[in-house]
Amino acid sequence: MNVFVRTDNLCKKYGHTYALRDASIEIHQGDIYGIVGRNGAGKSTLMKLITGLTERTAGELELFGQTEDLFKQRRRIGAIVETPEFFPYFSGEQNLEYFRRQRGIVDPGVVERALRQVGLADAGRKKFKAYSLGMKQRLGLALALMGEPDVLVLDEPVNGIDPAGIVEMRHLLLRLNQEKHITILISSHILAELSNLATRFAIIDQGVILEELSAEELALKSRAYIELRTEQPRRAVAILERDLGFTQFLVDAHGQIRLFEGFDQLGAISQKLVQENVGLLGMEQRHDSLEDYFLNLIGGGRHAQLS
């Protein structure tokens, strides 16, 4: 599989502070590559370096196998970095028409098609200044799609979009990836959103990429557990320990029990708790989401801030 974007020990320093340090990632053709990190973790800096909005302090950047003449390679990239801005006195359609001419795209029909693709066909004639934040994001995506890019770079594209819009956006991105084979680099602090979309992940914190892994690897690393809700958690714990011999469990502040073993003994566990009149309210097999995994990875006191 071709590597479309590769960074090798990429660094960006503002004054004496590193916004990004030794970032090395590989984005393969067809990937949906999710960058997960808190605000200020360095996601946007990485995106800005890839899209040429800022210069690197050190390290290598390779686009489509090339390390030279990156501006030319960037014509194969469509990007939304931060909240997209356009001319406020122009309609969405006029804004796209302006960029169509600028990019030398001959076919005028691309404007209408791009607007339709992102669900803005009816709002194309509305002035940009009257757009909601969600509509601005959609117009930004329409612009990014207009040049039929090989790679989409999307910096928090669901910011300001309502829940229904987020689902629509996710479906649109999946469709673009599967039908048009567009490789996608997407960042978000809405971690659950990325876990439903990305095929590869990079977890970033304080400018450092902590881990790069595939969706499969993440699934393996996420811890599965049985969640037990009872009326008497203390008694339930005693039964689990004494009668069933389990040792790997946690009880949270709300009295919910997380049991990290015994997945093949669900029937026996429930039967024993019912027999002992513990008052079993619920029992469910679950596994940690991307958020949980991420929080565990960055760990410590910051866990509390995030949750």
Q: Does 159 bind other proteins (CB under 8 A)?
A: no
Min dist. Cβ of residue 210 to other proteins (A): 25
Q: Does 289 bind other proteins (CB under 8 A)?
A: no
Give the position of tokens 């599967």. Answer: 178
Out of 153, 169, 173, 280, name the contact with other proteins by CB under 8 A.
153
Q: Report d(CA 152, CA 27) in Å as an integer.
A: 11
- Nearest residue to 7 (alpha-carbon basis) of 218, 204, 219, 140: 204
Min dist. Cβ of residue 96 to other proteins (A): 11
- Is 20:42 a contact under the CB 8 Å cutoff? yes
Min dist. Cβ of residue 75 to other proteins (A): 4
Give 35: exposed, middle or buried? Use CB within 10 Å, 0-12, 13-18, 19+.
Answer: buried
Q: Does 73 bind other proteins (CB under 8 A)?
A: yes
How many residues form the binding site for other proteins (CB under 8 A)? 35
Nearer to other proteins, 96 or 273 (CB): 96
Q: Does 148 bind other proteins (CB under 8 A)?
A: no
Q: Report d(CA 221, CA 39) in Å as an integer.
A: 24
Out of 16, 17, 68, 104, name the contact with other proteins by CB under 8 A.
104
Q: Does 97 bind other proteins (CB under 8 A)?
A: yes
Min dist. Cβ of residue 80 to other proteins (A): 8
- Is 59:10 a contact under the CB 8 Å cutoff? yes
Nearer to other proteins, 18 or 90 (CB): 90
- Is 211:293 a contact under the CB 8 Å cutoff? no
- Is 62:23 a contact under the CB 8 Å cutoff? no
Q: Rule CB under 8 A: which residues touch other proteins?
A: 14, 48, 51-54, 71-79, 81-87, 89-90, 94, 97-99, 101-104, 143, 147, 153
